[in-house]
């Protein structure tokens, strides 16, 4: 049985703690990422859907990220707040925080679902859905069912870090894994023999999300370090302000990513129409479909990056609350080195095996133009993976230190200042290829800012007297 006393976070070896908390978190996020990725793989390999279904999936993907943004703001903020509260032996604030987080999940998810259903067509249009009629029709079909599952998705994703903060990273991993496996089993059944198309892929996803939400609810009712009661479910302004401010960076990171995706997808549609090949109606959806696939692989890599850092949140929060800055500094070093190593492995994969990667997403059923553009996209768009991983890890670690404003600044610089303006400016000079160049350029510029902040953070963590 896992320990219920959180004091071991201030005494256990840093490397062991990082493995205990980060690995389940990484697996949870990877499995969570698989929901949309698995849908896209099965859709792409269905000959009656192909690149049209692939492009439709790409259009809807940013809209699921908005829901995820709300979930991680509530969940990561609550996780950090609870960990700091437990480190300071303030259990009263901890249980109030969890109760308020649950209330916010319910209210925000219902509001988002209603907005999605009422404004479905203009929302899909804003994300490039009208590249052609087939793509738009598939996007509407898929999005309708995904929207209905939003309340379950937000609750399951938000409660996952809360469960980790209670000292149960393995159960958090299990809850996400159970839902994803359900999706993986149902997807091929609904898409192939039952021929349910985009609707089948979406329904399989929602069923998996419902299972994750139910498992999360089961655990929350039986938390170890935090005991919920009626008072937990009364809104406390100071508590909400406290944990939402800690989770704001996670929210802005996701929402700014959505804004960046919207810019990329619209530029893809605009400059694809000007291209000699992709300007032809039968190939118009290819750039959008391919960029979606490349972003999905990036999502896998960045899930590892986020998992490494997010898994450290309870450790950092507890040690800061216990005034052990020396341990927080050591953990920061471990994190940055690990992020760089994982980034290098991911870089080698995309540079050496792009054809094999695109083959997973049904390239064999598509034209040579599809494969050629996909190979180039993988190699150019993701060539700065190492910097991207280090940048993301730094953002989340600063958030765990309670430096929400600083973390938000560099996150927003990456996704909005660089992630939006560069995809708009670069294609003016390099056409469709300019969209590909914009991504590594944004990571380079962001790292210059991040390097300065990393150095400053090390200096601040070194100011505390070391303890043995």
Reported as a single tens digit per residue, the pLDDT across 285-299 is: 888 888 888 988 888
Question: What's the confidence (pLDDT) of residue 337?
Answer: 93
| 1 CB-contact burial (10 Å; exposed 0-12 / middle 13-18 / buried 19+) | exposed
Q: pLDDT band at 366, cuts 50/70/90?
A: confident
CA distance 159 to 164: 9
| Average confidence (pLDDT) over 12-18 | 82
Question: What's the confidence (pLDDT) of residue 32?
Answer: 66
Asked whether the predicted pLDDT for residue 465 surpasses 80, the reply is: no
**Quick one: which of 365, 374, 353 has its CA closest to 287?**
374
Q: What is the DSSP string of 117-160?
A: HHTHHHHHHHTTGGGSHHHHHHHHHHHHHHHHTHHHHHHHHHHH
pLDDT tens track for 368-415: 888 899 999 999 999 999 999 999 888 888 877 777 777 777 777 888
| Structural domain range at position 259 | 21-461
The more confident residue out of 200 and 76 is 200
Question: What's the confidence (pLDDT) of residue 5?
Answer: 56
Task: Read off the DSSP letter of residue 280.
Answer: S
CA distance 173 to 353: 29
Q: pLDDT band at 320, cuts 50/70/90?
A: confident
Q: Are 281 and 369 in contact (CB under 8 A)?
A: no
Asked whether the predicted pLDDT for residue 139 surpasses 80, the reply is: yes
Element holding 325 (H helix, E strand): helix 325-352
Q: pLDDT band at 424, cuts 50/70/90?
A: very high
Residue 4 in domain = no
**Quick one: which of 308, 4, 7 has its CA closest to 167?**
4
Q: Which residue has the tokens 């698989």?
A: 34
Residue 169 in domain = yes
Spell 34-63 as b/e; 16+ CB within 10 A means b.
bbbbbbbbbbbbbeebbbbbbbbbbbbbbb
- Provide the domain count of the chain: 1
Beta-carbon contacts of 20 under 8 Å, excluding residues fewer than 6 positions away, are 169
Alpha helices of 192-323 — where are they, by DSSP H?
A: 197-220, 237-274, 286-311, 313-321
| Average confidence (pLDDT) over 96-118 | 94
Report pTM.
Answer: 0.78
CA distance 167 to 268: 44
CA distance 285 to 268: 9
Q: Are 232 and 98 in contact (CB under 8 A)?
A: yes
Question: What's the confidence (pLDDT) of residue 458?
Answer: 86
Positive/negative CA dihedral, 185, 187, 189, 192: negative
Asked whether the predicted pLDDT for residue 468 surpasses 50, the reply is: no
Helices and strands in the chain, H and E counts: 18, 0
CA distance 138 to 45: 15
Q: Which of 66-70, 129-133, 213-217 has the lowest mean pLDDT?
A: 129-133
Residue 467 in domain = no
Q: Are 391 and 443 in contact (CB under 8 A)?
A: yes
Asked whether the predicted pLDDT for residue 19 surpasses 90, the reply is: no
Question: What's the confidence (pLDDT) of residue 4?
Answer: 41
Output the average pLDDT for the chain: 86
Asked whether the predicted pLDDT for residue 3 surpasses 60, the reply is: no
Residue 358 in domain = yes
Residue 414 in domain = yes
| Average confidence (pLDDT) over 419-444 | 94
Question: What's the confidence (pLDDT) of residue 1?
Answer: 36
The more confident residue out of 320 and 260 is 260
CA distance 352 to 348: 6
CA distance 124 to 99: 34
**Quick one: which of 375, 287, 429, 209 has its CA closest to 279?**
287
Q: Which two tokens stand for residue 399?
A: 């958030």
Residue 3 in domain = no
Residue 402 in domain = yes
Question: What's the confidence (pLDDT) of residue 441?
Answer: 96
Spell 390-418 as b/e; 16+ CB within 10 A means b.
bbbbbbbbbbbbbbbebbbbbbbbbbbeb
Residue 385 in domain = yes
Q: Which residue has the tokens 């490349």?
A: 294
Asked whether the predicted pLDDT for residue 266 surpasses 80, the reply is: yes
The angle at the Cα of 335, spanning 249 to 30, to the nearest 5 degrees, equals 70
The more confident residue out of 366 and 96 is 96
Question: What's the confidence (pLDDT) of residue 344?
Answer: 96
Asked whether the predicted pLDDT for residue 278 surpasses 50, the reply is: yes
If you average pLDDT over each of 1-10, 208-217, 352-361, which comes out highest?
A: 208-217
Question: What's the confidence (pLDDT) of residue 2?
Answer: 42
Q: pLDDT band at 31, cuts 50/70/90?
A: confident
The more confident residue out of 322 and 105 is 105
Strands (E), 204-279: none
| Average confidence (pLDDT) over 56-65 | 89
Q: Are 426 and 434 in contact (CB under 8 A)?
A: yes
| Average confidence (pLDDT) over 259-285 | 87
Beta-carbon contacts of 349 under 8 Å, excluding residues fewer than 6 positions away, are 357
Q: pLDDT band at 466, cuts 50/70/90?
A: very low
CA distance 305 to 415: 16
The more confident residue out of 282 and 390 is 390
The more confident residue out of 257 and 154 is 154
Q: Are 44 and 56 in contact (CB under 8 A)?
A: no
Beta-carbon contacts of 214 under 8 Å, excluding residues fewer than 6 positions away, are none
CA distance 173 to 276: 47
| Average confidence (pLDDT) over 163-168 | 81
Q: Are 168 and 111 in contact (CB under 8 A)?
A: no
pLDDT tens track for 172-231: 889 988 998 999 999 999 999 999 999 999 999 999 999 999 999 999 988 888 888 888
Task: Read off the DSSP letter of residue 402.
Answer: T
């Amino acid at each position: 049985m896992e320990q219920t006393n959180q004091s071991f976070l201030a005494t256990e070896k840093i490397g062991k703690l990082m493995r205990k908390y980060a690995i389940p978190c990484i697996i949870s996020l990877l499995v969570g990422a698989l929901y949309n990725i698995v849908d896209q793989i099965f859709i792409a390999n269905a000959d009656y859907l192909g690149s049209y279904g692939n492009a439709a999936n790409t259009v809807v993907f940013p809209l699921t990220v908005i829901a995820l943004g709300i979930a991680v703001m509530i969940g990561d903020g609550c996780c950090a707040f609870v960990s700091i509260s437990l480190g300071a032996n303030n259990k009263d604030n901890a249980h109030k925080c969890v109760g308020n987080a649950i209330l916010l999940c319910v209210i925000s998810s219902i509001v988002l679902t209603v907005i999605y259903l009422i404004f479905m067509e203009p929302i899909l249009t804003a994300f490039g859905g009208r590249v052609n009629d087939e793509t738009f029709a598939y996007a509407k079909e898929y999005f309708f069912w995904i929207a209905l599952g939003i309340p379950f998705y937000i609750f399951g994703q938000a409660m996952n870090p809360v469960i980790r903060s209670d000292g149960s990273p393995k159960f958090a991993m299990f809850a996400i894994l159970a839902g994803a496996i359900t999706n993986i089993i149902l997807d091929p059944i609904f898409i192939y023999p039952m021929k349910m198309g985009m609707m089948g892929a979406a329904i399989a996803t929602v069923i998996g999300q419902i299972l994750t939400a139910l498992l999360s609810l089961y655990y929350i009712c039986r938390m170890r370090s935090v005991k919920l009661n009626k008072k937990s479910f009364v809104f406390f302004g100071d508590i909400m302000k406290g944990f939402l401010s800690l989770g704001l960076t996670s929210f802005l990171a996701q929402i700014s990513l959505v804004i960046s995706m919207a810019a990329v997808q619209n530029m893809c549609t605009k400059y694809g129409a000007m291209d000699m090949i992709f300007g032809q109606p039968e190939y118009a959806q290819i750039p959008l479909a391919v960029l979606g696939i490349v972003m999905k692989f990036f999502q896998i890599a960045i899930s590892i990056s986020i998992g490494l850092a997010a898994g450290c949140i309870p450790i950092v929060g507890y040690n800061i609350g216990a005034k052990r800055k020396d341990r927080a500094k050591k953990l920061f070093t471990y994190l940055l080195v690990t992020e760089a190593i994982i980034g290098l492995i991911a870089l080698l994969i995309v540079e050496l095996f792009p054809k094999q990667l695109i083959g997973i997403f049904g390239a064999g059923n598509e034209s040579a133009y599809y494969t050629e553009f996909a190979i180039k996209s993988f190699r150019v768009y993701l060539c700065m993976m190492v910097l991207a991983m280090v940048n993301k890890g730094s953002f989340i670690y600063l958030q765990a230190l309670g430096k929400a404003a600083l973390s938000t600044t560099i996150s927003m610089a990456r996704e909005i200042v660089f992630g939006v303006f560069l995809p708009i400016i670069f294609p003016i000079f390099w056409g469709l290829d300019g969209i590909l160049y914009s991504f590594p350029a944004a990571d380079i510029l962001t790292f210059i800012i991040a390097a300065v902040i990393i150095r400053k953070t090390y200096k601040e963590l070194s100011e505390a007297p070391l303890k043995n």
